[in-house]
């Protein structure tokens, strides 16, 4: 099946720094990528949708200047958490959509800890 590779799997950074998370589709072209965040014992919350060649669309309440999303090519989408703060510590997951009635393909997730 389709594979989405997400890196890094874990990252610890200092407050005020920026962190980039990459998601690559390995054996297919992903024109769209969804980015989720998940707090402990909570559900996946959709943050934004990236689309190759155009600006990302953000869900209500998500700061687009804080969470920069770039879909540079048909196989790479990135999420940059800018000026990270401890409250940004979370599990971030990317997902490429399947067709209407098929599964989505998830990356492995990134555990971000801001200290």
Residue 97 binding another protein, by CB under 8 A: yes
Torsion, Cα 81 24 39 58, to 10 degrees, reads 60
The one-character DSSP state at 83 is: S
Smallest distance, another protein to C-beta of residue 83, A: 26
Which positions from 26 to 65 touch another protein by CB under 8 A, shown as an x/- string? Answer: ------x-x------xxxxxx--x-------x--------
Bridge-based pairing state of the strands 90-96 and 19-25 = unpaired
Smallest distance, another protein to C-beta of residue 46, A: 6
Residue 77 binding another protein, by CB under 8 A: no
Residue 99, SS3? coil
CA angle 8, 21, 36 (to 5 degrees): 110
* Residue ranges binding another protein (CB under 8 A): 32, 34, 41-46, 49, 57, 91, 93, 95, 97, 100-104, 106-109, 111
């Amino acid at each position: 099946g389709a594979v989405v590779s997400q890196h890094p799997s874990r990252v610890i950074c200092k407050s005020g720094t920026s962190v980039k998370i990459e998601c690559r589709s390995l054996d297919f072209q992903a024109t769209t990528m969804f980015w989720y965040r998940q707090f402990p014992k909570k559900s996946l919350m959709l943050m934004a949708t990236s689309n190759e060649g155009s600006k990302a669309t953000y869900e209500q309440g998500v700061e687009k200047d804080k969470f920069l999303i770039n879909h540079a090519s048909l196989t790479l989408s990135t999420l940059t958490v800018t000026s990270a703060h401890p409250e940004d510590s979370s599990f971030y997951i990317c997902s490429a959509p399947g067709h209407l009635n098929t599964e989505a393909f998830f990356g492995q997730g990134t555990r971000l800890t801001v200290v």
